[in-house]
Every structure is written in C-alpha cells, then in structure tokens.
Amino acid sequence: MATNRAAATEHLFSYGTLQQADVQLATFGRLLDSRPDRLPGYCLALLAIDDAQVVATSGKTHHPIASRGEPADGVPGAVLAVTLEELRQADAYEVAAYRRERVTLASGAQAWAYVDARATLP
C-alpha cells in the first residue's frame, strides 16, 4: 500500500538507525522526508541489541541510546516525517530499552523521540 506523504503528520526525531535508508525501507516501505535538528539536554551511549530481527534490519549489534544529560549536552539527528501508522511501525522496531516520548528540539519543534526507558522519568 502506498503511503500518502500528506498523511505524514507526525514528527519523529532520530539520532540512530531509523535514519538509515535500509532500515526505513524495511520498517516503513519507503524513504522518509527528513531535516536536521538537535535534541538538547541529552547525551548518547551505546546499547547492545539482542533482538536478532533488529540486528538483521540495522546491520548493527549496538545502537545509540539517548539519556537525559546536562543542559549543555545535545544529540544531533534528523526529524523524520511519518504517519501515525509509521509511528506504530517504529514502536515495533525499537527494543524495550527505548521509550517514545515527546521532546522539544533545538529548533523549537515538538517531536517524538526514543529515549532510554531504563532512566527515571523527570
């Protein structure tokens, strides 16, 4: 089923594998429109991925994971334009260590981002 780009009403900030063309094609069946942005107040670590399907899709055994850091910290990435259905597909792709939460980016835009679910909520 072809996705109508006009239906891409959600913004998803990606700092990792969801920016990869092969992951987008495998997860969403298309390449997503994107623009650069930054997630302030977060820092990155690496997470070992033990889900064989996710490793097969991304080609990587370790993925970056964003956790709250200092105000001066920031994570570069891209804002992806997705539909509600694609947001659900992204949820299915991400492993349990990630939690999707609403964030404010350096541009001032609101977006969803997958952050460290193991960290305590503010």
* 28 and 86 Cβ atoms separated by less than 8 Å: yes
Please say whether the beta carbons of 13 and 111 come within 8 A.
yes
Tokens of residue 108, six digits: 């001032």
- pTM assigned to the model: 0.86
Say how far apart CA 122 and CA 4 lie, in whole Å.
Answer: 36
pLDDT of residue 61: 87
* Average pLDDT, 10 consecutive residues per value, the chain (122 residues): 62 95 95 97 90 87 90 97 96 92 97 90 56
Q: How far is CA 78 from CA 95, 103, 105, in A?
A: 20, 13, 10
pLDDT at 7: 78
